Amino acid sequence: MFGIGDLSRATEVKVPTIRYYEEIGLLPAPVRTASNRRRYPPEAVQRLRFIRHARELGFDISAIRDLLSLKTDSGPSCHQADAIARAHLQQIDARIERLSALRDEIGQMLADCASRACDDQCRVLEVLSDHGHCRHREH
């Protein structure tokens, strides 16, 4: 059995985060000692490592909850886990596309700024002041 500090060190998850995961039901409530200290079973280490790794990969709490339920059911459903991971990948691809458009826009602002005299109006400030000056026009 692990105390919360030992569990934190074993999983590299901060104590407040462990408490939060308990509060939202990602981590089952631990057994309490007579002095009301939390005592975690060895399985909590694996579960927290799973959660931490999923969070590092950008999965949201809802997806992690779903993945954990698949892991603990009568047998993992690769089809369902695959669907969750594919949906997450689509979100990542959409985010990359938006970030690429933003990168291009800022790069163009800087290129426009470099081609103008500095005593003219600053292109960066001009574009940031009026979204109508953006080339990608994504709102």
DSSP output for the chain: -B-HHHHHHHHT--HHHHHHHHHTTSSPPPEE-TT--EEB-THHHHHHHHHHHHHHTT--HHHHHHHHHHHHSSS--HHHHHHHHHHHHHHHHHHHHHHHHHHHHHHHHHHHHHTS-TTS--HHHHHHH-GGG-SS---
pLDDT per residue, tens digit, the chain (139 aa), is: 899 999 999 999 999 999 999 999 999 999 898 898 889 999 999 999 999 999 999 999 999 999 998 876 566 678 899 999 999 999 999 999 999 998 998 888 888 777 766 556 777 777 778 777 676 655 4
Give the predicted TM-score (pTM) of the model.
0.76
Nearest to 27 by CA among 67, 88, 68, 62: 68
